[in-house]
Amino acid sequence: MTDGSIPQIGAMKWLNDLGYTPKVDWEPYVYNDDGQLSGYITQYDDNLFFATVQGVGHMACQWKRQDVTELIMKFIHEEPLL
């Protein structure tokens, strides 16, 4: 919740208002070599995920490149995110 420009609370509320119910809610994940928390993932259905990247706001690709690249590559290659 570090980004005032792109509020995650509003995005999560929007998904809930559309009728999506989380199957897996706010599960932590680690995708980096140092074992630090990468962020959290909520899974709504088989193909709908809401992922956050810990502590970087909307500049995630710049400040946590390894974590974001791993998250995107797993999604593109249909590998489990969690």
Q: What is the pLDDT of residue 34?
A: 87
Write out pLDDT tens, residues 55-76. Answer: 887 888 889 999 999 999 999 9
What tokens were used for 2? 């570090």
pLDDT tens profile 7-55: 788 888 999 999 999 999 999 999 988 889 999 999 998 789 999 999 8
- Which residue type does 71 have? L
Please report, for the domain that includes residue 47, its CATH number: 3.40.50.11320
Distance CA 47, CA 59 (A): 24
Provide the 8-state DSSP code for 55.
T
Q: Give me the pLDDT at residue 68, please.
A: 93
Residue 49, CB half-sphere, CA atoms under 13 Å: how many?
A: 19
pTM for this predicted structure: 0.83
pLDDT of residue 2: 59
DSSP-assigned letter for residue 9: H
For 13, the domain range is 8-76
Report the domain count for the chain.
1
- Calculate Rg over the CA atoms of the chain: 13
